[in-house]
Amino acid sequence: MSGADLGRLKRICVIGDMTGFGRCALAVQLPAICAMGVQACPLPTAVISAIPYHDSHYYLDLSDGISDYANHWTEIGITFDALLAGFMCSSKEIRVITDYIRRLNPPIVVVDPVMGDGGHLYSKVKGDVLPVMRTLAGLGGVITPNLTEACALAGVPYRQVFTDAELDGLLERLQKLTPGAVIVKSVCLENDGETLNNILLNKGRTTRWAYEPKPGKYHGCGDFFAAALTGGLVLGDSLEDAFLAASQKTSQAVSITYERGTPPDDGILFELTL
C-alpha cells in the first residue's frame, strides 16, 4: 500500500445511470455504499429525469463521454477496491466498461446486468446488447441478474414459475458465462406458493433467501441489493454473509415502503434502513 493510500476508506467504482426521481441506480447506490463507511465513486452512463417507467422522461445518453471519464481516472492513478457495474444503455458503453475493467483489474467485480424485468427487456436494450453483456458477465466475480435478465443471458425462455430442475439448468447455463458466483433474484419455485427466492450459487454450493413479496412493483430493489452486497464484500464479509445481509436489507426496505403506503413509483425507502 502506498503512502497516499494509508488511512483512506475502501473505494468502489459505481457504474450506472443517475435518475433524478424514483430512487434507483446511482441515486440509491451512492448513499447506500457511503453509509457503510465506503467511498463510492460514480461513473455515470446516463442522466434520466425520472425513473423510466413513467410515460415520458428526459434521457441524456453519456456513451460518448465515459471512455474519457474513465481514462482520466487511470491517468491520475485512481484505483478501486471493487467495481459495481449497473445499467448501461448501449453495447458501446458495455464495451468501454469491459475494457476498463480489464485494464483496472479490481480485486472485486460485481456485475448487475440491468436489462429488464417482469419477463420483458427494457425498450432501450437493443439486440446487440446481449452478446456484449455476456462478455461483461464473464469478468464478474459475482453476477446479480433478476429472473428476467438471467433468462435472457442464459438464452432460455422466461417463465414465472420454475421447477427445481429448471432452476438448476438455468444456474448451470449462467455459471458457464462466468468463473465467479451467480446470484439470481426474485425466483418463484413450484410448490412455494407466492414465496420468492434470491439464490446464490458459489463454488457448487447453493444458498437461498426466501421472502414474501409485497403487492406492487417497487423500483430500486436490485440496485440497493447490489450496493449492499458490494459494500459487504469490500469490507471483508464472506460472499454468503454479504448475500444474506443484502437480501435482508432489501426486504426490510420494501416492507417499510409498503407499510408506510408510499407509492411504488417513488422507489423503496432505503434511507430508513441506513
**pLDDT of the chain, 274 residues: tens digit per residue:** 444 566 899 999 999 999 999 999 999 999 999 999 999 999 999 999 998 655 678 989 999 999 999 999 999 999 999 999 999 978 999 999 999 999 999 999 999 999 999 999 988 788 899 999 999 999 999 999 999 999 999 999 999 999 999 999 999 999 999 999 999 999 999 988 899 999 999 999 999 999 999 998 898 999 999 999 999 999 999 999 999 999 999 999 999 999 999 998 899 999 999 9
Domain 80-273 sits in CATH at 3.40.1190.20
Taking the C-alpha atoms of 117, 123, 129 and 133 in order, what is their torsion angle to the nearest 10 degrees?
-20
Question: In the structure grid, which three cell numbers stand for residue 179, read together?
Answer: 468463473
Whether pTM > 0.85 for this model: the answer is: yes
Q: What residue ranges do the domains of the chain occupy?
A: 80-273
Q: Exposed, middle or buried, 186 (CB in 10 Å: 0-12/13-18/19+)?
A: buried
